[in-house]
Chain A
Amino acid sequence: MNDFLELVVGATASGCIYALVALAYLLITRPTGIINFAVGEWAMMAAFAGVVMLNQWDWPYPVGMAVMVAMMFVVGWMTERLTVRPLVESGAPPLAPILALLGMLVVFREAISIGFGPDPQAVPAAFGFGRLEWGLLAGSYQSFFIIACTLSVFAMAWYFFERTLHGKSFEAVAIDRRAAAWMGIHLGRVTAVSFAMGAVVAGLAGVLAAPNVSAHYLMGMPLAIQGFTALVIGGVGRVEGALLGGLILAFAEQMTVRYAPVPPGLAMGVPLVLLILFLLVRPTGLLPAREGRT
C-alpha cells in the first residue's frame, strides 16, 4: 500500500507537468485553431532561464520564477507577432502558421544548444530535494510543489475563462472569430495574449520539471508529445480536460511499468496506444466543450 501511495504522488506530479503542457497547447488552440508544437521548446527555454537565474546568479526562487514568467510572456507575444501574425494577415493557408511554428521549434532548440552547449545542466528545486512524508502519502518536496503549483495555475485558468470578461472574450473568439470581431473583440490582442499565456504555462512546466530531469536542449520534444497526448485524451474544449488528460496519461504510464506484467520495452508504448485509442474512439477527448457554448 505504501508503494502504491508513493507512486500516486510521483505519477500525479508527472501528470501535472503533462497537464501544464497540455494547457499551453489548449490556450493557443482554443481561440486560434493553431497547434503549436514549439510549446516543448518554450518549456526548455524556461528551464534554461532557471539555470541562469536560479543556479548561476543564485537569485531567490520567487524572484527567478517571476522574471521567468515575464520573460516567457514576452517570448510568446513576440512569437505570435513575428511568426504567426504576418502569415495570417497575408492570407496564408491555416497550415502555414503551424509549419512556421515548427520552424521556430528548431530555431529555439538550436539557439539554446549553441548558447548553452549540449550538456545537461542543473536547476535547483524550490525547496531542495528532501522527502516529505504526510500520513500515508510520501514523495519529494518537488513533487508536492509541482502538484500545488499546477492546481493553482488550473484554478486561475478556470477562473479566467469562466468568471472574467476577458476570459469570455477568448471563449467568444473560440466559438466564432468573425462574430467576436463584430462585437468589438480585438482578435489580434486575443491571439497574442493566448500565445503569451501559452508560453508562460509551458515555461512553468519546464521550470518545474527541470530539477528532476535537468535542463537540456532535447528536453522539449518529449514534453511536447506527452502534452499533446494529454490534450487529445482530455479534449481541447475545457481547461479541466488538460488536467484530466495529463493525470490519466501519467497514471497509465507509471502504473503499467510498476504493476503490469509486461517487458519494460512494451510499457513505453502505453501512451501511444492511449493516443490512438482516443483518436479513434473519442476524438473530442473526455471532456468536450459544453453544450450550447460551441
Chain B
Amino acid sequence: MTHRRFFMSLHTIQWTRRAWHTVLLSALVGALPALAQNTIKIGMITDRVGPAKPYAEPVAAGATFAVKEINARGGILGRQVELMVEDDQGRPDVSATAARKLVDAGAVFILSVSLTPATQQAQTVTLESKTPHMTPSNGGDTLTTQVNNPNFWQTGPLGSTQIATLLSYAANRNYKRVALITENSDLGQLTNRFFKAGLEKAGIQIVAEEMVPRGSTSADAQMQKIRAANPEALFMTGVVTPENTLILRSYRQLGLKMPILGNYNLSVPVYTSVAKGLMDGVTFVDAFDPNKPETKRFIEAYKKDVGTEPYNLNGYGYDGVMLVADAIRRAGAVDKDKVREAMQATKGFVGVMGSSGAQYGFADGKRTGFDTNGMVVRVYEGDKQGKVVHVGVK
C-alpha cells in the first residue's frame, strides 16, 4: 500500500467514524426531548447566594432527596420526576423571573424555598399562569392572604401557630408581663407581628419590644432595656442565627434570668455549635419529633443516601415534594387544573414534619396546610435539644 492510499484509507475510516458519531449524536439529541417530555417536571426556586441560603439549602436538599426516593420507587404515574432548580438570590424580582422560566419550561408544580417577599412575588406569575405553587417552609401568616391565588399553598408552620403552641405550653406559668426581641429581616418582623398579636389576644402585657438590626456587633443596649423592664419571660422572634446568638450572648453576659421562649428558628441544630454554652434552658417551638415513626424512617433513609443526619429543615423540603407527588397521583394526570383541585383536596397526609398524629390538610377556603396542633415544644438541655415536652395548642 502506497503512502497515499494508506492515508486515503485512514481518511475514509475517520470519515465513516465521524458519520457514525453524527448519526448517534443526532439520535441521542432527538431522543432527549422525548425523554424530557416523559418526565414530570417540578420546579424549585431557591436562594443559593442570598440571605435565605442557610435555610433554603437544607430545605432544597430535603426536596432533592424526596425526588430521588420517588424516582427509585418508580416515579409518579409511571413517569420519572425531574426537579428543575432556579436560584432567585432571595430577590423578589428574580424570583418572579425564575417562576416564569419554570412555567415556560413546562413545570407542573413550583416549590418556593426562599425569602417570604420572594415567594410572594413569584405568586404573580403562578396566579397568571395558573401553575400550582407551594412553599414548604415559609412561616409568614400573610402569604396566602395578601394575594388571592388559588394556585398557591403554604405547608410550613405559621407564626400564629408557633406562638399559640408556646402560650399553650406556658399556660400554667400565667405570664402577665413579657418582652419581645427580634431582628429586622422580613420573616423576623412578620413572626414578631404574629407573636405580638397572639400575646395581646391572650391579654399578656408586652413591657418591652426590641429589635437588633442585622449586622450588629452588640445587643447589650436592647437587652439592658429588657432587663430594666423586668419581664417575666422573653420571647425571641428573630429568625437569623447570628443576631439570635448575639441576643443570647448578651442575655448571659448581662445576667438576665427570665425564661426564654423562642420561635422555630431556635430549633435549627446550628445553635448547638455556634451558641455553645448559651442554650441551656431555652424553650423553643419545633415541628420535628425525632421519635415519630415517619420521622425515624426519614432520618435513616436520608442518612443512608446522603451520608449526613437530617434535621427539621430537610424535612420541610421532603414533605413539600411528597405532598406535590401525592396530589399529582390523586389527580391522575399532570393537567394543572386537576393537580390544583387535588392539592386543595389534600387531607390526612402524614409527613415527616409535625408531632405524632399530625396531618397536613387544607380546610375549605384555606390554603395553609400545617396541622395547627402539629407543633411541639422542646427545651435545650445543656447544648443539646431535649425531648418533646409539649404538643399542640390545647
Residues on A close to B: CB < 8 A? Answer: 3, 6-7, 10-11, 13-14, 17-18, 110, 113, 117-122, 129, 131, 139-140, 209, 212-214, 216-219, 221-223, 225-226, 250, 253-255, 257-258, 264-265, 267-268
Taking A121-B274, A212-B246 as known contacts, 15 extra A-B pairs with beta carbons closer than 8 A to each other, sorted by chain A number, are A7-B224, A10-B218, A119-B241, A119-B270, A119-B274, A120-B242, A120-B270, A121-B273, A129-B249, A131-B253, A216-B54, A257-B225, A258-B221, A264-B209, A265-B211
Identify A214's interface contact among B211, B225, B242, CB under 8 A. B242
What chain A residues lie within 8 Å of B228 (beta carbons)?
3
A223 CB, min distance to chain B CBs, angstroms: 7
Q: Which of A7, A10, A117, A120 is the one whose CB lies under 8 Å from B241? A: A120
| Cα(A120)–Cα(B270), bound, Å | 8
CB <8 Å contact, A129 and B277: yes
**What chain A residues lie within 8 Å of B273 (beta carbons)?**
121-122
Chain A neighbourhood of B249, CB < 8 A:
129, 212
Contact B54 A119 (CB under 8 A): yes
CB neighbours of B255 from chain A (8 A):
131
User: Once bound together, how far apart are the Cα atoms of A265 and B209, in whole Å?
Assistant: 10
Q: Which 5 A/B pairs are nearest by Cβ-Cβ distance?
A: A222-B215, A264-B211, A10-B220, A257-B221, A118-B54
Report the minimum CB–CB distance from A136 to chain B (whole Å): 15
Distance to closest chain A CB from B70 (angstroms): 26
- Residues of B within 8 Å of A113, CB to CB, are 49, 53
- Residues of B275-296 at the interface with A, using a CB-CB cut-off of 8 Å, are 275-277
> B57 to chain A: which residues have CB within 8 Å?
117-118
Contacts of B341 in A (CB 8 A): none
| B187-217 with Cβ < 8 A to chain A | 209-211, 213-217
Q: Check if B253 sits within 8 Å of A140, measured CB to CB.
A: yes
Residue of A nearest to B255 (CB): A131
Please pick, from B221, B224, B242, the residue contacting A219 in the complex, using a CB distance under 8 A: B242
Query: Shortest distance in angstroms between B255's beta carbon and chain A's nearest beta carbon?
Result: 8
Contact assessment for B245 and A213 in the assembled complex, using a CB-CB cutoff below 8 Å: yes
Q: Which B-chain residue is minimally distant from A16 (CB atoms)?
A: B217
Q: What is the 8 Å Cβ interface bit string for chain B, positions 224-264, against chain A (1 contact, 0 not)?
A: 11001000000000000110011001001111000000000
Chain A residues lying within 8 Å of B274, measured Cβ to Cβ, are 119-122, 214
Which one of B211, B225, B254 lies within 8 Å of A258 (CB-CB)?
B225
Do the beta carbons of B276 and A122 come within 8 Å of each other? Answer: yes
User: Are B245 and A268 touching (Cβ within 8 A)?
Assistant: no
Asked if A264 and B222 make an inter-chain contact with CB atoms under 8 angstroms apart, the answer reads yes
24 pairs, A vs B, C-beta closer than 8 Å: A3-B224, A6-B220, A14-B217, A113-B49, A118-B54, A119-B54, A119-B270, A119-B274, A122-B274, A140-B253, A209-B217, A212-B246, A213-B245, A219-B215, A221-B215, A222-B216, A223-B215, A250-B217, A254-B221, A255-B221, A264-B211, A265-B184, A265-B211, A268-B184
**Counting CB contacts under 8 A, is B51 at the interface?**
yes
> CB-CB < 8 A to A213: which residues of B?
216-217, 242, 245-246
Given contacts A119-B241, A120-B241, contact A6 B54 (CB under 8 A): no
Q: Indicate with 1 or 0, residue by residue over B12-53, a CB within 8 angstroms of chain A CB atoms.
A: 000000000000000000000000000000000000010101
Cβ–Cβ contact B54 & A10, under 8 A: no
CA gap between A7 and B216 in the complex, in Å = 15
Number of cross-chain contacts by CB at 8 Å = 103
> Which residue from chain A places its CB closest to the CB of B243 in the assembled complex?
A213
With both beta carbons as reference points, the residue of chain B lying nearest to A224 in the complex is identified as: B215
Contacting residues, chain B, for A119 (C-beta < 8 A) = 54, 241, 270, 274
Give the docked Cα–Cα distance between A120 and B246 (Å). 12
Closest to B271 in A: A120
Q: Which residues of B contact A216 (CB under 8 A)?
A: 54, 241-242
Q: Given contacts A113-B53, A122-B273, is CB(A258)–CB(B242) below 8 Å?
A: no
Q: A121–B245 Cα gap in the complex (Å)?
A: 11
CA gap between A150 and B99 in the complex, in Å: 49
A264–B210 CB distance below 8 A: yes
Considering only residues 52-68 of chain B, those with a C-beta below 8 Å from chain A are 53-54, 57
Is the pair A218, B51 in contact by a Cβ cutoff of 8 Å? yes
Q: State the CA gap A209–B255 with chains docked (Å).
A: 21
Q: Do A10 and B221 have beta carbons less than 8 Å apart?
A: yes
B59 shortest CB reach to chain A, Å: 12
B221 touches A7 (CB 8 A): yes
B245:A214 contact, CB within 8 angstroms? yes
* CB nearest neighbor in A for B52: A118
Question: How long is the Cα–Cα vector from A212 to B245 in the complex, in angstroms?
Answer: 8
Query: How many Å from the CB of B90 to the closest CB on chain A?
Result: 11
CB <8 Å contact, A268 and B53: no
Min distance, Cβ B234 to any Cβ of chain A, angstroms:
14
Complex: A20 Cα to B184 Cα, angstroms? 25
Q: Which residue of A lies closest to B253 (CB)?
A: A140
Contacting residues, chain A, for B184 (C-beta < 8 A)? 265, 268
**Contacting pair A14 B215 (CB below 8 A):** no
CB proximity of A171 to chain B, nearest CB, Å: 31
A6 close to B224 (CB less than 8 A): yes
Interface centre among A117, A119, A209, A222, by most chain B C-beta atoms within 10 angstroms, is A119
Give complex CA distance A13, B221 in Å.
Answer: 13
Count chain A CB atoms within 10 A of each CB in B53, B218, B245, B253 and give the residue with the most: B218
